[in-house]
Amino acid sequence: MNRTATAFGIGLREHARNYVLVALLVILPVSFITLAFAVTQDVQMPVRTLVDGETTTVMRGMPEVHGVIMTPITSSFIAGLAGLFLMREARDTDGRLAVVGYRAREVIAARFGVLAVITLVVVGVSVGVMLVDFQPEQLWWFVAAMVILSVTYGLIGMLVGAVFNRLAGLWIMLILPMIDIGLFQDPLFVQSEPEWWMKLFPGYHPVRVMVDTGLTTDLDTAMSLGWGFGYLLVVGLLAIWVYYRGTRAT
Amino acid sequence: MNRFAVGIRSNVRTFLRTPLNVVLALVLPLVVIEGWGQAMAGLPPMPTIEAIPLDLGRVLGAIFGVAIIAGLMGLVQMISAREADRRLVQTGYSPRTLLATRLATLAGVTIVVAGVNFGVLWLTVEPEAPLLVFAFLALAGVVYAFLGALVGAVLPRLFEGSLVVVFLAMMDAFLSGDSPLAADVPDFVQYFPLYHPKELLQSAVFDGTFAAGDLAFVGGYVLVLLVLVTAVFGATMRTSGGWSA
């Protein structure tokens, strides 16, 4: 087994052995998403989205619209916090791995692999819970956008963990997804063309795809999926660069 | 100078030594209050859904903002100082004195954060009873600060603890915050930490009054949290019978 696989396996086992964490990664999405569906009023609401290439307003049940937002916000919160704490832990241990001969790219690959697994688990649990109450019109496109958004937030968590201390990082990783996905991208709250600065947030393109694929039968936002992936790549490159510098410095 | 005063002074210095935390504690309330207010105001009125006025959105943002900033502060304060606290107990500090210094510092910083939130509300909403508004914001913050401290004492790892505090705060904001999206809110929501502080704050901002029952409930809530955090902290700091507890 090569060294990257060894470090990846140890990182995964370390988290899997923490039963409290594993339980929370399951219990919190289940309770939060279930509760959100249970108490949301079942009324029709106007939603702005793309239909046949044109922006139009369609009427959809509020629980469905709410589900389209609450599910990705849950996975983004958890992925963001996971990225934040992986980076904080890495500061203590990865320097030692470098001293015993690990290359920076091996350490980085192992850490990013652990973050990817945690994110996929959380996305899987969140989507699974959502499917009990709501089935998106195009499930796999919806899941693809959700993975892109959650991984992006996981990497942003890593960046924040590299730059800020724990308390500041926690505040930022709570408030950023909340105002981005929960307020500025929520089609219930933003009924007109979003302001230009709202489009700069990580959630803009993936949430557009989720609203489109969750509530309509055709994919009209393939371009947004591409932009969301591009955003993910940029954040990923930044995170790798910051991680690389941090690992070499320690 | 007695140990209590020394403890508080060193805790405050630790917080102030990180200027970024101070800056964020001052800036984030503005972001949350305006973000919350503007977003809520965008919700279209429907047959069973009342429009949320901009001012009410700001009030809800203010109480959520102060609660989450204080809650995470309480969590981090308890967890990051755990090892140091244990050593202080071994050198003769009483766990109760130590905890008192932590909670007093938390309450003090929370009152400052509440002051910032109050300042933003004062400029944007013009509350009917400003002093009450400030007091109730501080009370909401203290509830969450002690709750964060309790979670930090029970779950001594930041990742797990922050997940609990963050999701509790999100559910609390959604259920207690008069969300226009919610219906059939279960009865148990009145036991959520922000339910009664939100009622107090809303009355003080828009009517200049408050209900004594709500205030008594919040007072009881703080007392229960104090008892719980004291018991858990005492148990985790027990040093008899070995080098580490």
Yes or no: say if B127 and B201 are a contact pair by the CB < 8 Å rule. no
Q: Hey, CA dihedral for B117, B120, B122, B126, is it positive or negative? A: negative
Inter-chain CB proximity B160 and A171 less than 8 Å = no
As a whole number, mean pLDDT of residues B51-64 equals 83
Give yes or no for residue B241 having a pLDDT over 50: no
Contact status of B143 with chain A (Cβ, < 8 Å): no
Q: For testing the chain A interface, which of B109, B158, B178 should be mutated: the one with the most A CBs within 10 Å?
A: B158
Six-digit token string for B136: 């109730």
Q: Which residues of B touch A188 (CB under 8 A)?
A: 43, 181
Its ipTM equals 0.86
Interface of A with B in 96-155 (CB under 8 A): none
- Put simply, the answer to whether B24 touches A172 (Cβ < 8 Å) is yes
Distances (CA, A) of B169 to A56, A78, B130, B161: 34, 14, 25, 12
Contact A85 B158 (CB under 8 A): yes
Residue range A200-209: mean pLDDT, rounded: 96
Q: Do A183 and B46 touch (CB under 8 A)?
A: no
The verdict on a CB contact (< 8 Å) between A184 and B185 is no
Give the global pTM.
0.89
pLDDT at residue A226, as a whole number? 96
> What mean pLDDT comes out for the span B185-205?
89
Q: Is the pLDDT of residue B51 over 80?
A: no
pLDDT in tens, A6-63: 888 988 898 888 888 889 889 999 998 998 888 888 888 888 888 888 888 888 888 8
Residue among A102, A229, A235, A91 at smallest CA distance from A159: A235
**Tokens 């949301």 correspond to what residue?**
A40
Whether B224 has a pLDDT exceeding 70, the answer reads yes
- A25, A41, A172: residue with CB nearest B48: A41
More confident residue, A142 or B241: A142
Q: pLDDT tens-digit profile of B120-132?
A: 889 888 889 999 9
CB–CB of A183 and B182 under 8 A? no
pLDDT of residue A87: 85
Least confident of A138-142, B23-27, B127-131, B176-180: B176-180
How far apart, in whole angstroms, are the C-alpha atoms of residue A60 and residue A42?
Answer: 10
pLDDT band at A231 (very low <50, low <70, confident <90, very high): very high
